[in-house]
Amino acid sequence: MQIIYFASVRETVGRDGDEYDLPDGIQSIDDCLTWLSAQSSAHAAAFANPEKLRFALDQQMAKSNASLKDARELAIFPPVTGG
Amino acid sequence: MIGIYVQEERFDAGVMQAPLHALGGGAVASFTGIARADHGEGGDVIAIELEHYPAMTVAALEILARQAEQRWGLLGSVIIHRTGRIAVGEEIVMVAAAAAHRAAALEACAFLIDRLKTDAPFWKKEIYAGGSSAWVTAKDTDTARADKWD
């Protein structure tokens, strides 16, 4: 799965995105965050407060308990601040 | 008629909403957001840097425009949002709505900007005179304003 980061999340992780073959058993965005946090200390720092994060699955806003089923791109970012 | 534009270049709000004048309605309302001369923790703000999610941005704005069109029976709407570096005093965003009468145009405009602030994938960073910068954090008041359109 393609995982991309924006704004402060991108800066904390230290790159724009990652591509991972997620292990079986990673079913929701929440599961994915837990798994990603184990990949590096930078990932762990970026996802330390999941309630402060927002998500999109294949370019549509999604809740953290959403299923990753069939999604190709997961975006992780802080609450938006446009306008 | 729906016009959605995401661009780095400056824009002229009058020019961008002029096409809405020719749709046969009696009302065009618009809101233009400007990079404010704020004073933040890092000093005077001289510019903002706007990041977005290119694969999603236009689609997210189109959804808002279609929702407004349906809810207020609009004749047309325009949303334009800049990205990249925007100096204080420059325009960031404009939403405009055309309708038969003013109430629909005015309300639709308020809806578009309130929802854009919570639903469209943009992130602002303040750039200070001393060279430092800081991400702008989302405000609960913006969420409350957006929620009142539910």
Beta bridge pairs of residue A11: none
pLDDT of residue B61: 98
Give me the mean pLDDT over the B79-93 stretch: 98
Domain range summary for chain A, segments of one domain joined by +: 2-77
Q: Please, what is the average pLDDT of chain B?
A: 97
pLDDT of residue B41: 79
What size, in residues, is chain B? 150
In order, the DSSP letters of A17-82 are EEE--PPTT--BHHHHHHHHHTT-HHHHHHTS-GGG-EEEETTEEE-TT-B-TT--EEEEEPPP--
Domains and CATH numbers, chain B: 2-136 (3.90.1170.40)
pLDDT tens readout for residues B9-51: 999 999 999 999 999 999 999 999 999 999 987 899 999 999 9
pLDDT band for B150, please (50, 70, 90 cuts). very high
Give me the mean pLDDT over the A38-55 stretch: 97
pLDDT of residue B40: 80
What residues of chain B have any CB closer than 8 angstroms to a CB in chain A?
33, 50-53, 55-56, 59-60, 81, 92-93, 113, 116-125, 135-138
β B76-82/A2-5 pair status: unpaired
DSSP B22: G
Give me the mean pLDDT over the B123-136 stretch: 96
Please check whether residue B99 is in contact with residue B75, taking contact to mean a CB–CB distance below 8 angstroms.
yes
Question: Which superfamily does A2-77 belong to?
Answer: Beta-grasp domain (3.10.20.30)
For B133, the closest chain A residue by CA position comes to A8
Please check whether residue A3 is in contact with residue A13, taking contact to mean a CB–CB distance below 8 angstroms.
no
Contact residues on chain B for A72, CB-CB shorter than 8 A: none
**H helices within B2-124, ranges in order?**
13-17, 54-72, 102-119
pLDDT band for A1, please (50, 70, 90 cuts). very high
